Structure 1
Amino acid sequence: MTLGAFEAGEPVLLIDRKNRRYLVDLAAGREFHTHTGVVDHDDIIGAPEGTRLKSSRGAAFLALRPTLADAVLKMPRGAQVVYPKDTGAILVLADIYPGARVLEAGVGSGALSMSLLRAGAVVYGYERREDFCARARANVERFCGPEALERYRTEIRDVYEGVDETGLDRMVLDLPEPWRVVPHA
């Protein structure tokens, strides 16, 4: 992700004085509307992170890049997500490390996938539902960048029927009956 000035097409987190957080995708010529006024995207594009803005009604906002936790809590979802407090435990207890080859079964909206990728893993995602798989890939691209898709391979399939990948280092199973996958591990 970019570390300089904000660019069109990237997500920005706008935080108001009451600490309400709004996740907005920047686009030239667009506006963000809230009950406290309008913020022009063009006032954010090209500005550095940490810029303070005022809406058309004088409300103050702070513009930041969303953290991974912000992304998970605010991202579009179709399925229930693994929340940041649980993700941390999963990453540590599963000993996820850079380069680890991880099978994730039940990718849902991609929240855990994003954390696995951020930790440097290569993720093989199995998901039964095509709409969830598409949502997960879109969220990974939006919040981790298109380069993350090079380490994120998803398939629409049922992990209970078997695992084709070999040489896996870890399996993370967000499923109702994970024990049914053990014979395939």
Structure 2
Amino acid sequence: MTEWRLLVAAGRAQLVDITQEVQDLPGVGRFRSQLLRDAVTGEEFDLVGTPARLLEPTLFDLVADLERGPQAILPRDLAWIAWILGLEPGDTVIEGGAGSGALTLTLARIVVPDGRVISYEPRLSHRRILECNLQRSPHTAQVKVVPQELTPDSEPTPCQALVLDVPQPWELVGWASTALESGGRLVAYLPTTGQVTQLLAQLEGWGELRVVENIQRDWTTRSQALRPQSRMQGHSGFIVSARHYT
């Protein structure tokens, strides 16, 4: 059983599992975790000569520190997907292609305490990373990982939302029509316009069709030289959303 905290020390913030016997952290060094377990969350304390503070990690902290494998959905797209799905606590959402679990963690945080995230992930290498990352979340009880590919022959599970991060989501539109309750939403995350075109052709008759591409441009934080940064986060994927009415 893990217990994660955000340690702020030596000019950096990093996730630590305080159940481990010993920590060995950049900028701080090697020390026993009992020092962290004895600390009061939110209050400054001395950590082997370094002023430090323990905080409860937020969703932002958890996603930013994920173990990487398959490309994770970026925060700007996570926020849009979570918003457009319109999820509520207690909802069931099905995820086709979980990858590293950034979206899985986000969805699980929304549907607590009684909701479910059912994540289909057929690749063993991806599942190992996903399950490792899920251990950092306090909402793992909300997540069921299915070690299979989501296909048109999969048993439909009634749900309020469906997210597809798979190469050919148009093959699952019929399945989605069966699984989604009336008013439920489908979202697909796709890298190319060709995939978007094929999916839109299959979504004819659905409501509230929308295609969004989020572009992010950060700015410098120097007050005397405020300007856009030289590099920006460009294309990562198209977010296609639609609403199902029976």
Deviation at 1:174, TM superposition (A): 1.5
Contact 2:22–2:30 (Cα < 8 Å) also in 1: no
Secondary structure of the structure 2 residue equivalent to 1:139: helix
- Shift in alpha-carbon separation, 1:123–1:42, aligned structure 2, 3 A: same
Secondary structure of the structure 2 residue equivalent to 1:169: strand
2:138 paired residue among 141, 144, 156: 144
The CA distance in 2 between the partners of 1:142 and 1:36, in whole Å, is 22
Range moving further from structure 2, 29-38 or 109-118: 29-38
The CA distance in 2 between the partners of 1:28 and 1:77, in whole Å, is 22
Q: Does 1:12 align with 2:11?
A: no
Greater Rg, structure 1 or structure 2? 2
Secondary structure of the structure 2 residue equivalent to 1:136: helix
Written as runs of structure 1 = structure 2, the 5 A alignment for 1:26-175 is: 26-27=18-19, 29-56=21-48, 58-120=49-111, 121-145=115-139, 148-149=140-141, 151-175=142-166
Alignment size in residue pairs: 173
* Alignment-mate amino acid for residue 92 of structure 2: R
The CA distance in 1 between the partners of 2:143 and 2:50, in whole Å, is 40
* Alignment-mate amino acid for residue 184 of structure 1: W
Q: Relative to total residues, which structure has the larger strand share, 1 or 2?
A: 2
Contact 2:39–2:54 (Cα < 8 Å) also in 1: no
- Shift in alpha-carbon separation, 1:166–1:34, aligned structure 2, 3 A: closer
The CA distance in 1 between the partners of 2:3 and 2:32, in whole Å, is 15
Deviation at 1:39, TM superposition (A): 4.5
Q: Does 1:21 align with 2:13?
A: yes
Deviation at 1:76, TM superposition (A): 1.8
- Shift in alpha-carbon separation, 1:125–1:33, aligned structure 2, 3 A: closer
Q: What TM-score does the superposition give when structure 1 sets the normalisation length? A: 0.80
Deviation at 1:161, TM superposition (A): 4.6
Unaligned runs of 5+ in 2: 177-246
* Alignment-mate amino acid for residue 4 of structure 2: P
Q: What TM-score does the superposition give when structure 2 sets the normalisation length? A: 0.62
Deviations 1:10-69 (A, max 9, x none): 112112353x2211111364133323444431111032211323343x332221121111
* Alignment-mate amino acid for residue 53 of structure 1: F
Secondary structure of the structure 2 residue equivalent to 1:175: coil
- Shift in alpha-carbon separation, 1:153–1:35, aligned structure 2, 3 A: closer
* Alignment-mate amino acid for residue 167 of structure 1: P
Deviation at 1:171, TM superposition (A): 0.6
